[in-house]
Amino acid sequence: MDTAQIMGLVTGILFGFLLQKGRVLRFEKQVGAMLLKDMTILKFMLSAIMVGMVGVTLLADAGVIALSHKPMNVGAILVGGALFGAGWAVMGFCPGTSVGALGEGRWHAAFGITGMLAGAALYAELYPLMKATVLSWTDFGKIGLPETLGVSPWAVIIVFIAVALGLFRWFESRGL
């Protein structure tokens, strides 16, 4: 294994460990969030994002790390995002959690994993068609929210954290 592979593996083991301890790998947690009955995965994701965005912004501001935005390609995000949402609801796992679910013995996740491999192969086959259609509509490129709004990243972060904390309070008061 080269350095990149070892680093990926170590990071993945820690990531999988935390996903499992947070109990977010379960089918019922993912579907529970979409049914608005169990907000465990929202609590987990928003907590990770709140902490991560502060560190990433500090390091990027200091010039230590580089940001790597994914393009805001309107067709790709809207159509792709909608397809993902629909498939996710039926499968009950997202790509990362499916593999983790398998690791905690929920072997039925293998069905979704097989489907996702097939879906990736299908996308590779249809990529030229997608490029000529959905992907060619409008592309705003790799943009960040602060520049787009013309504000400091810290303004976005403060608002985000305030909204997330408000949601947490509400989740807890409703027993979600």
Is 167 a residue that touches other proteins (CB under 8 A)?
no
Q: How far is the CB of 86 from other proteins (least distance, A)?
A: 5
Is 87 a residue that touches other proteins (CB under 8 A)?
yes
Task: Give the separation between CA 97 and CA 95, rounded to whole angstroms.
Answer: 6
Phi/psi at 128 (5° precision)? -60, -40
- Considering only residues 98-117, where is the footprint of other proteins by CB under 8 A? 98-109, 111-117
- Considering only residues 23-62, where is the footprint of other proteins by CB under 8 A? 23-28, 31-36, 40-41, 43-53, 55-57, 59-60
Is 96 a residue that touches other proteins (CB under 8 A)?
yes
Q: How far is the CB of 39 from other proteins (least distance, A)?
A: 9
Is 88 a residue that touches other proteins (CB under 8 A)?
yes
Task: Give the separation between CA 140 and CA 147, rounded to whole angstroms.
Answer: 13
Q: How far is the CB of 22 from other proteins (least distance, A)?
A: 3
What amino acid is encoded at 71 in this protein? P
Is 170 a residue that touches other proteins (CB under 8 A)?
no
83 vs 162 by CB, closer to other proteins: 83
- Considering only residues 128-157, where is the footprint of other proteins by CB under 8 A? 128, 130, 134-135, 140, 142-146, 148, 153, 156-157
Is 95 a residue that touches other proteins (CB under 8 A)?
yes
Task: Give the separation between CA 133 and CA 30, rounded to whole angstroms.
Answer: 31
Q: How far is the CB of 90 from other proteins (least distance, A)?
A: 3
Positive or negative, the CA dihedral 116, 120, 122, 126 is: positive
Q: How far is the CB of 162 from other proteins (least distance, A)?
A: 15
Task: Give the separation between CA 125 and CA 131, rounded to whole angstroms.
Answer: 12
Tokens of 33: 């969030």
Q: Are 48 and 40 in contact (CB under 8 A)?
A: no
Q: How far is the CB of 140 from other proteins (least distance, A)?
A: 7
Phi/psi at 37 (5° precision)? -110, -25
Torsion of CA 82, 101, 56, 176, to 10 degrees: 70
